[in-house]
Amino acid sequence: MATPLMPKATAVWLVENTALSFEQIADFCGLHMLEVQAIADGEVATQMQGLDPVANGQITKEEIERCEKDPSARLKLAPQAIPVAMTKHKGPRYTPIAKRQDKPNAVAWLLKSHPELTVAQIQKLIGTTKETVVKVRDRTHWNSANIKGQHPVGLGLCTLQELDAAVTKAQRRRAAEGGPANEGAAGEDEFAPASAGSEAEAP
């Protein structure tokens, strides 16, 4: 069964903003019901920024309301949220010229929402250069004044699966290194400087 973009962050939002049961949220997000209960009890994901599945087109408000009225009902992803299978090609990612100007906006969104991603991971996801990522991060990009964070999936620069896989990999690396596997950086106005090893290729 297909799961929404960033399942755990979506579960955080659903726990905080709906009357859905733990079982319904767990089923929709592909999580264990005890994990959802732990989120509600504040035992896990305490610093995680919830991801609104209605705002990003994963599900409709009407679908949530339908399931709130019937605890036995199960949430279903919106048809447009189910990704189309893609063929993996070798070599650099090609981005249409019309979308290339959106890359700095996507980089800015990733830097703020997923600081656990390395420069190399962001490069690969967006199909951009190390120089661009570093300049957006350090606010030395020539167009910094006009850069506004935008979701890379919404811009068509990567797929839901690619983003989810990259974040999961980054969180596992953080956990292995003993650091917090933070899902996002809500409330931060400035991009945090990269650590000494942040520009190395992810293992």
Give the pLDDT band of residue 54 (cuts 50, 70, 90): confident
pTM tops 0.85, yes or no: no
Give the pLDDT band of residue 183 (cuts 50, 70, 90): very low
> What pLDDT was estimated at residue 194?
41
Extract the tokens encoding 83: 């990704």
pLDDT digits (tens, 9 = 90+) for 110-163: 999 999 999 999 999 988 899 999 999 999 988 888 898 889 888 888 888 889
Cα–Cα distance, 155 to 179 (Å, whole number): 31
Domain locations in the chain? 7-81, 84-203
> What pLDDT was estimated at residue 184?
41
What's the burial of 153, exposed, middle or buried (CB within 10 Å: 0-12/13-18/19+)? buried
Give the pLDDT band of residue 179 (cuts 50, 70, 90): low
pLDDT digits (tens, 9 = 90+) for 59-89: 899 999 999 999 999 998 887 665 544 444 4
> What pLDDT was estimated at residue 197?
41
> What pLDDT was estimated at residue 182?
53
> What pLDDT was estimated at residue 94?
52
Give the DSSP H/E element, type plus range, for residue 40. helix 33-40
Q: Tell me the CB-side half-sphere exposure of residue 25, using CA atoms within 13 A.
A: 25
> What pLDDT was estimated at residue 46?
75
Extract the tokens encoding 146: 């006009």
